[in-house]
Amino acid sequence: MSESPSELRERVRRLPGMERLLPALEGLPPAYLVGGAVRDLLLGGHPVDIDIAIEGDARSAARTLADRVGGSAREYERFGTADVIVGGQTLHLASTRDESYDAPGELPRVTQNSSLSDDLRRRDFTVNAMAIGLTGDDLGHLYDPHGGLGDLEAKTIRVMHDRSFVDDPTRLLRAVRYATRLGFALDPETERLAREAVAGDALATVSGARIRDELMDLLRETEPPAGIELLRDLEIHTALHPELDPDPELVASASLGAAAIGADRGVSALAALVESAPEKLDLWLADLNLPADERDAASRAARVADRIAQALRERELTPSELRALLGREPLEALALALALRAPSEPVLRWVTDLRGVGLEISGADLLAAGVPEGPAMGRALEETLRRKLDGLVSGRDEELETALQLAQEHAQ
C-alpha cells in the first residue's frame, strides 16, 4: 500500500474535478486533501466527497477558486468553511483548525487557522488523520504523523488519544461504522477504551440528534449485520436504550427488503432495530429528532410488520384485499414484513403493479352526473376502485356506471 509521491500525485490528478482545481490553487494558501478521501484513495477506492483543508482563510480561497473555475461558492461563516460548486460537483473547503472540549459530549471549541498538524491531531481515527498536499511541489506528498497508513495496512481502527470516546461519544458509533464498511477491527486498546466509555454511560452526554446522525449512517451501510453484531458486542445497544435488543440478521433482511421495493434502507433498518419492543422505544425514537415522516414510518413499521407478514402467510389475497392490508402502510413496513418472512410475491405485486392503480373518474364526474357531495360518493368511489383492482370493472365508462349505481345504493 506504500505509495511514492509521484504515484500519489497521479492518483490525485485522476480524481474528478482535479484537472480544474489543481491549477486554480496556484498562489493560494497551502491546500491539502484530507479525511476519508485520503483513506479511500490509499485503499484504491474512488472517493465521493472531496474535503480540502486550507492553511488560511477557506472562505476567501473558495471565492477565488469559484471565480477561477467558473463555479459558485457557498460560505458558512460560523464554521469557517465553504463549498465550491462546479460542473455538478461540490468541493468542501475548511480552514485548518484545532479543537478542545470543555466537557464530555459537548461540541468542541474551535480555533481557526491552526496548522495542518493541529488539524490532523483533532480527528477521530488514525486512518482519517492523513493529508495529501495539493499545491506546488507538495502535490502528492503524504502527511501521516499518526501512523494511519500502517493502520490501513493492518486493517485496524485506532483512536487518536485516550479521551477520544469521552470527548465525543458519537465516535463509538463511528468506530463501528468504519469497522463495518472497511472490514477492519478495533485495535485492542481502542476496544478497551470503547468498552470503558460505554460502561461509563458516555453516550448519555450526547444529544439525540447527534446520536441520530451517526446511527442512521451506520444503518445505511451495505453490511449492516456486522455493524449490529459489533454494536451488541460492545454493548452500545443497551447504552442507547435498555430495551434495544437488535437482531443483526433481521436488520440486514429489512435493509435488503427495502432495496427490493424502493423503501428507505436506513428507516427500514431502524424499524427492525426497534421491532422487539416498539411501544417501549417510541420515546427513544422521538428523542432522536428524526424528520417526522421517518420517525412515523419506523414506528408504524415496527408495530404492524409482523401482522402484515402473518396475514400474507395465511392465504392468497385478492388485489383489493392487498390494498386493504397494505395501502395505508409505509413501504418500510413492507420491507420489515419481508424480513419477517412474508411471502415476497404479493408484496412485490402490490408495489410494482397495484399500488399505482387509480380510477379514471373522480368526484367531479359524479357531481356532474347529479350525485350530491357526501359519504355515499366517497364509498362509491372506493368500492369502484376495489372492483377495478379485482378485474371486475375496466375503462372510464364502466367506472362511471358502477360508481353511479353504488352511490345510489349507498344513498338509500
Residues 92 and 139 in one domain: yes
Residues 115 and 174 in one domain: no
Contacts made by residues 250-255, CB under 8 angstroms, sequence distance 24+: 250/275, 250/339, 250/340, 251/219, 251/224, 251/225, 252/224, 252/225, 252/228, 253/338, 253/339, 254/332, 254/335, 254/336, 254/338, 254/339, 255/219, 255/224, 255/335
Antiparallel, parallel or unpaired: β 97-100 and 142-143: unpaired
Question: From CA 85, how far away is CA 89, in angstroms rounded?
Answer: 6
The domain of 332 spans 243-356
Question: From CA 350, how far away is CA 356, in angstroms rounded?
Answer: 9
Across 311-350, b (16+ Cβ under 10 Å) vs e yields bbeeeebebbbbbebbeebbbbbbbbbbbbebeeebbeeb
Residues 134 and 256 in one domain: no
Residues 248 and 118 in one domain: no
Q: Per-residue pLDDT tens, the chain, 412 aa: give them.
A: 566 778 889 999 988 888 889 999 999 999 999 999 999 999 988 888 899 999 999 999 999 999 999 999 999 887 779 999 988 889 999 999 876 666 665 566 666 768 999 999 999 999 999 999 999 999 999 999 999 999 999 999 999 999 999 999 999 999 999 999 999 999 999 999 999 999 999 999 999 999 999 999 999 988 778 899 999 999 999 999 999 999 999 999 999 999 999 999 999 999 999 999 999 999 999 999 999 999 999 999 999 999 999 999 999 999 999 999 999 999 999 999 999 999 999 999 999 999 999 999 999 999 999 989 889 899 999 999 999 999 999 999 999 999 999 988 877 6
Residues 53 and 178 in one domain: no
Question: From CA 253, how far away is CA 412, in angstroms rounded?
Answer: 50
Residues 14 and 140 in one domain: yes
- As for how many domains the chain has, the answer is 4
Residues 336 and 255 in one domain: yes
Residues 174 and 286 in one domain: no
Residues 267 and 215 in one domain: no
Phi, psi of 343 (to 5 degrees): -60, 135
Residues 226 and 332 in one domain: no
Residues 49 and 146 in one domain: yes
Residue after which a domain boundary falls, among 205, 240, 275: 240
CB 261 within 8 A of CB 334: yes
Q: What is the CATH number of the domain that holds 226?
A: 1.10.110.30
Q: What is the CATH number of the domain that holds 112?
A: 3.30.460.10
Residues 204 and 176 in one domain: yes
**pTM exceeding the 0.85 threshold for the entire prediction:** yes
User: Which residue in the block uniquely carries the three cell numbers 408495489?
Assistant: 351
Residue after which a domain boundary falls, among 133, 154, 175: 154
Checking phi first, is residue 140 left (phi over 0); if not, alpha (psi -120 to 50) or beta?
left
Residue after which a domain boundary falls, among 188, 216, 240: 240
Reported residue count of the chain is 412
